[in-house]
Amino acid sequence: MNKAIEAMGILQDLGLIVDNMPGIKISTYTQVDYSMINIKYNENEVVIFDLKSAVGEGMKELHNVKNSFKAPFVIVITNLYNDDFKQRCFSLGADKFFNKNDEIKEFGIVLNNQLYKLSNNKFDHARFV
């Protein structure tokens, strides 16, 4: 299966699972060069950036989100993989970085673990693994 399609499937599954979790709020934001999914439970937050460009608004928003008053856990997923881009994302605030073509399983595991922590252990921990 195409890894990018598999990544989209995981994000769709995420929406279905999160929608069924009591107290969880999900919002999405899409621009030309990035998409952002914000998942909140009380004061806890996970933000997923799907970056489509190494320059532009997505990189600025990554920095802004991480430097907000209540800094969330930030995951970047992208098809644009190279070491310089990865390091730049980390320097702007990414906590985790995944190449959608090669690291989709690892992304699912980290996301699963963060959702488990986010929901105060109130959902099935094995949903994405």
Q: How far is CA 109 from the centre of its chain?
A: 12
Q: Where are the domains of the chain?
A: 3-118
* pLDDT value of residue 97: 94
Neighbour tally for 38: CB within 10 Å:
15
Q: Which two tokens stand for residue 71?
A: 């800094």
Beta carbons of 100 and 7 less than 8 angstroms apart = yes
Q: Which CATH number fits domain 3-118: 3.30.300.30, 3.40.50.300, 3.40.1350.10, 3.40.630.30?
A: 3.40.1350.10
Alpha-carbon distance of 60 to 63, in angstroms, equals 5
More confident residue, 86 or 40: 86
pTM listed for this prediction: 0.76
101-123: pLDDT as tens digits? 888 888 888 887 887 777 665 55
Beta carbons of 107 and 114 less than 8 angstroms apart = no
